[in-house]
Chain A
Amino acid sequence: MPLRYQLMLLFLLFAIVPSVGLGLLVNWTVERVVERQVEGHTMQLIGKVNEALNSKMENLQNMTYLIAFDPDIDAFMNDKMPQNDDAGIEPMNMDTNAETEQNRLYGIKQTLQGFTTLYPEIAGIVLVNANGDYISNEMYPRAEQSLIQENWYQKASANPGIFMVLGQPKERNLTTHVRYKDDEIVSVARSITDEASGRVRGVIMIDLKLRSVSQAARNVTLGKSGYVMVTDEEGQSVYKPEHPLIEHIPTDWFPSGESGTFTADTEGGRLLFMYQSSTFTGWRTVGVFPTRDSISEVRQIQFYVVSFVFVVCLFGLSASLWFSRSIAQPIFRLMSYMRRAETGNLRPGRWSNRADEIGMLGNSYNRMLAQIRQLISLNELRERQKRDAEMRSLQEHIKPHFLYNTLDTIHWMARKEGAEDVSGMVGALSRLFRIGLSKGQDYIPLHSEIEHMTSYMQIQQTRYRDRLQYTLNIPEELRDLFVLKLLLQPLIENAIYHGIKGRRGPGHIRVEARLEHNRLLLTVQDNGAGMSNERLAEMQQLLEAPLASLEASSPGMTGKSYGMLNVQARLRLSFGDEYGIVLESQEGEGTSVTIIHPLMREVPPTKQINNEERQESEWENS
């Protein structure tokens, strides 16, 4: 896989995987915690509804007692009222106590009206005594049939004195004037008994408006998208919303116990039921919720988490794209530049001005290319010079033997003839050649170099006689050091031809060797004509780039400085830029040329040009 995609993948992995993981964790935790809280809360609410219903029913129970306490009603229950089918308003009787009866009935009705005045949720109250007589402000029978036969009366009298929640009336022979339908009311009843005999004297029935029940249940807003319904003992719903999720909850679904939670599969899907039942009313308050629906708060949190993950994904993607590009692109470019370099094109690459490692890499690469280019050109020059030298030495190989033999012969002949000076000169010439060739070796001991130089000097002295004098100041301990060969002779030659020759009277050349800072300094100093400042500057400039100067050197100037440039070039090539020639001159005073040469106690393993650095370190160590 390309580096870019690897980086991208890495970034994405580190940006998205943790955020997705975090999201999942948060979601899971929140769902669990909130679910548990909401369920607890919902259970409490259901309990509150249950309590409210209980207290409503207790209120009604108290009301039946209050009604029964009324002495007039007590009398009615004791059957002391005139029997009449139509108790709505008593027709006038001619009995003596008719007036009081009338007033008593009026009083009872006022009492009952008092209850409905204070409790508007009561739809109606009916009192029935054992004879089937009844008193009510609101209700009257539909048909001429004794109310004692009614189901609710039987039920109430079967449980003497006990408050009964009858639930919604069904097909009873009673109607309210205000036309409350059967499914709009819930009725409760209590029978009144005789303390002594326990005989049922009558029944008080109260109709409660169902809306007061439903209001309590509907008022509950649950965390989940469910609702509260109320069922009676048989599982028939007392109250349910308009569009229930389930019409009827079978009683055997409910586990035993006053309250609890269970789930069941129904037509409307899997439902969660939470219920509390009341022993007083026998009713169950049931919360019904679809299980698949999560709580809206949880959904909200989920939404935020997903949004967060999405934003992180988007940012992560963009960031990883950007990062991977900013890293991979320069590497890719470096790669293509390297390919180009492999094909031999060493042009430096274009890099942006970045200050980081990547920018440094690019700069280093460019520098490296430059260096390689320089080394290559250096190498070429060396090879060429080497070839030239080899060619020259091949050409000259034949000559030396011939020349030696000839010179030897001349030497001996001159001695035989007694021409001592000729013999000495020829001997010097012969030494000069021998050392100059020195079997093709580049490095020779300093004493050989000195010998070479003195041979040359001897020849020149023969020529110039007294005009040329020289002094050698070579400490004995330095004589065994190795130096690059043929360093001094060209400088001496320069000193003679450009210094001494241009001077009037005898000239003097000093050759010195000394150690300084672990380097060998060889100085050739003359007291000749010296150089003008322009000439000195020009020479110094040429010496700065000896190779280029040699290449470009015109035939005209060869005579003047070829020797020095040659020495300089060889020093530089062999030892690097820190070595070479230091030129000092004063017009009319003389010239001093100092060779700065590394300290070498033995012949270095030459041949390889690239080994410069190793050599350098070795020389420094020594």
Chain B
Amino acid sequence: MKKMLLVYILLISAFALYVLRFEYTSQVNSSWEDRGLRGDIGETYIMITFQSGLEYWKSPLKGFEDAADALGVTVEYRGATRYDAKEQTMVIEQAIARKPAGIAISAIDPQSLVPAINKAIDADIPVVLFDADAPDSQAYSFLGTDNYKSGVMAADKMAELLGREGEVAVLNLPGQQNHEERTKGFRDTIKERYPSMQIVEVADGHGDAMVSRDETQRMMKEHPELAGIFVTEATGGAGAGEAVQTAGDRHPLQIISFDTNKATLDMIKNGTISATIAQGTWNMGYWSLQYLFHLHHQLTVPAPSSSGENAPLPVMVDTGISVVTRSDVDDYYAK
């Protein structure tokens, strides 16, 4: 009987060993490229912007793509081809229908996209906003420049360039929250800190180089004493720069632009534009995807936030700004 018991034990232990080996090897097999924080290739994250052809988006998209490579997931880029809230809403609706793992949105304006964003949240699709916020939506987080602060910084730089006096103008994109905030920051600072300076006009540059050039030329004619101009976005900055170049020495103008595209950097290099505000655009894309990934995989622990609700993510992330002038412009060119 003892012999039989031995045989049984031998048989069962051999089988147990086999099962263990099977489990072990199948684990090794399945995880051959899944070490660490990695998602599935089938997870698709979508980045949605407006005016999707803008060069400005290429940097956040690069960040988004780099994060996708790091996490092993798939990303797609979609956007309204024009500056059109309805079109962007439609693009978001299309994205929701495809049930992605997450959506990063740059809102065309604070209000129009709120229903679409909330619909995505209701469909259990994580949404974060980057670059341009829609504060009334249920999106988990906003990653972008503190625009008000960038306006303040631009005002300080302008005051420094003009010796704290003179007439200044603003060329912005009315209706878009980030541009409004930049303008507000600029305006508040001038009003509070630099009493001998005044803003003579806030013009609409339409985010287009030609329109901005024409507007700048018009303002230069209407306000002969205009000494400085703050442009809240890059294309307009180039347009303003062109206008100044055309005017030549007849009307020197200090231009503070926004963002660091090639044209802007070139103009800083040749002195047409005095300074520009650089945003952490790559960071916006990169961390948006990281946040979405963490939300999708439920890796975060909700904690009370400033809004009083339990938020799984930091509600507001400042991706940082810096002032670029002729002295450090070379650092901002691509290597």
Contacts and interface: CB of A to CB of B under 8 A. Distances in A.
B59 interface: yes
Contacts of B176: none
A242 interface: yes
Contact of A86 (B26, B210, B266): B266
A88 B11 contact: no
B24 interface: no
B33 A88 contact: no
Nearest to A113: B53
A91 interface: yes
B90 interface: no
A444 interface: no
B22 A88 contact: no
Interface in A106-142: 106, 113-114, 116-118, 120, 137-138, 140, 142
Nearest to A117: B53
A120 B55 contact: no
A177 interface: yes
Contacts of A299: 22, 25-26
Interface string B173-187: 000000000000000
Nearest to A302: B22
Counting contact residues on chain A (CB < 8 A from B), the size range is 35 or more
A118 B77 CA distance: 10
B334 A89 contact: no
B41 A218 contact: yes
* Residue of B55, B81, B262 ringed by the most chain A CB atoms within 10 A: B262
Interface string A34-55: 0000000000000000000000
A179 B26 contact: no
A225 B69 CA distance: 21
Main secondary structure of the interface of B (DSSP, over half): helix
A310 B59 contact: no
Interface string A307-351: 100100110010001000000000000000000000000000000
A190 interface: no
Given A89-B242, A120-B61, A138-B58, A179 B33 contact: no
B7 interface: yes
Interface string A216-237: 0011010001010000000000
B327 interface: no
Interface string A404-431: 0000000000000000000000000000
A175 B262 CA distance: 11
Contacts of B8: 314, 317
A91 B245 contact: yes
Contact of B62 (A86, A88, A179, A227): A179
A268 B76 CA distance: 34
Contacts of B53: 113-114, 116-117
Contact of A211 (B68, B238, B266): B68
A315 to B, nearest CB: 11
A178 B58 contact: yes
B11 A178 contact: no
A177 B26 contact: no
A178 B79 CA distance: 18
Contacts, number: 94
B52 interface: yes
* Residue of A88, A116, A177, A314 ringed by the most chain B CB atoms within 10 A: A177
Given A175-B335, A177-B58, A303 B65 contact: no
Interface in B65-107: 65, 68-69, 74, 76-79, 81
B262 A88 contact: yes
A23 B166 CA distance: 93
Nearest to B55: A137
A583 B242 CA distance: 156
A293 interface: yes
Contacts of B74: 215, 219
A211 B52 contact: no
Contacts of A572: none
Contacts of A178: 58-59, 61-62, 334
Given A177-B55, A209-B65, A211-B68, A310 B335 contact: no
Nearest to B35: A243
A313 B53 CA distance: 69
Contacts of A86: 266
A564 to B, nearest CB: 64
Contacts of B245: 91-92
Interface string B131-174: 00000000000000000000000000000000000000000000
Interface in B231-254: 238, 242, 245-246
Interface in B1-42: 4, 7-8, 11-12, 15, 18-19, 22, 25-26, 29, 32-33, 41-42
B200 interface: no
B118 interface: no
Contact of B77 (A113, A120, A180, A221): A120
A241 interface: yes
A314 B11 contact: yes
Given A120-B52, A241-B33, A303 B22 contact: yes
Contacts of A179: 62, 334-335
A117 B54 CA distance: 8
Contacts of B22: 299, 303
A177 B61 CA distance: 13
A176 B62 CA distance: 11
B314 to A, nearest CB: 26
Contacts of A116: 53
Contacts of A113: 53-55
B11 A106 contact: no
B111 interface: no
B66 to A, nearest CB: 9
B11 A317 contact: yes
A89 B244 CA distance: 14
Given A116-B53, A175-B335, A178-B59, A89 B15 contact: no
Contacts of B319: none
B41 A106 contact: no
Contacts of A371: none
Nearest to B59: A178
A219 B41 CA distance: 6
Given A86-B266, A89-B238, A175-B335, A310 B62 contact: no
A138 B65 CA distance: 17
B220 interface: no
A138 B54 CA distance: 11
A20 interface: no
Given A88-B262, A317-B7, A296 B242 contact: no
Contacts of B261: 177
Nearest to A314: B11
A317 B22 CA distance: 25
A218 B73 CA distance: 10
Nearest 9 CB-CB pairings of A with B: A117-B53, A120-B77, A113-B53, A178-B58, A175-B334, A89-B263, A310-B15, A178-B62, A179-B334
Given A117-B52, A178-B59, A299-B25, 11 more contacts: A92-B242, A92-B245, A116-B53, A120-B77, A175-B333, A179-B334, A215-B41, A218-B41, A296-B29, A313-B11, A317-B7
7 contacts: A92-B245, A92-B246, A113-B53, A120-B52, A137-B55, A176-B334, A225-B29
